[in-house]
C-alpha cells in the first residue's frame, strides 16, 4: 500500500520483475515493471507502492539511516491494530 520513507533509497532488482507506482493512492495498473539489473533511486518523502504482478521478485534496498516508514493510511500499516486506526 502507499507509503514513504524520510530517507533516500536505492532499489537494485536482483531477479523477477519489480513493479513500482507513485502517489498516495494505490493503483495496481499504474506501476511500471523493472527487470533484473535495474537500479532505481527513490528520493526521500516520495509516496509510492510496489510489488509483483506475477511470480516473485528480489530487490536489494540500500539506504542510510535512521530509517523510517509512513503509510498514507494508518489502516494499511501492519504495525497498528484496527483499533489504532479509529
Q: Is residue 86 part of a domain?
A: no
Q: Is residue 33 part of a domain?
A: yes
Q: Is residue 80 part of a domain?
A: no
Q: Is residue 58 part of a domain?
A: yes
Question: Which residue is listed with cell 503509510?
Answer: 71
Range of the domain at 21: 3-75
55-71 pLDDT per residue, tens? 899 999 999 999 999 99
7-52 pLDDT per residue, tens? 999 999 999 999 999 999 999 888 999 999 999 999 999 999 999 9
Number of domains in the chain: 1
Cα separation, 85 vs 43, in Å, equals 27
Angle subtended at Cα 40 by Cα 39 and Cα 45, rounded to the nearest 5 degrees: 155
Query: Residue 80's pLDDT band (boundaries 50, 70, 90)?
Result: confident
Q: Is residue 82 part of a domain?
A: no
**Which neighbouring-strand residues pair with 5?**
none
Question: Which residue is listed with cell 532488482?
Answer: 13
Q: For residue 9, what is the domain's CATH number?
A: 2.60.120.10
Residue 4, pLDDT score = 98
**Do 11 and 58 meet the contact criterion of CB atoms below 8 Å apart?**
no
Helices (H), ranges, the chain: none
CA 34 to chain centre: 13
Q: Is residue 85 part of a domain?
A: no
Q: Is residue 65 part of a domain?
A: yes
Q: Is residue 81 part of a domain?
A: no
Amino acid at each position: 500500500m502507499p507509503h514513504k520513507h524520510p530517507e533516500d533509497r536505492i532499489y537494485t532488482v536482483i531477479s523477477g520483475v519489480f513493479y513500482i507506482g507513485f502517489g498516495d493512492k494505490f493503483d495496481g495498473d499504474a506501476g511500471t515493471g523493472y527487470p533484473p539489473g535495474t537500479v532505481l533511486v527513490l528520493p526521500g518523502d516520495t509516496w509510492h507502492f510496489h510489488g509483483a504482478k506475477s511470480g516473485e521478485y528480489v530487490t536489494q534496498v540500500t539506504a542510510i539511516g535512521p530509517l523510517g516508514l509512513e503509510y498514507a493510511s494508518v489502516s494499511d500499516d501492519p504495525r497498528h491494530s484496527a483499533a489504532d486506526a479509529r
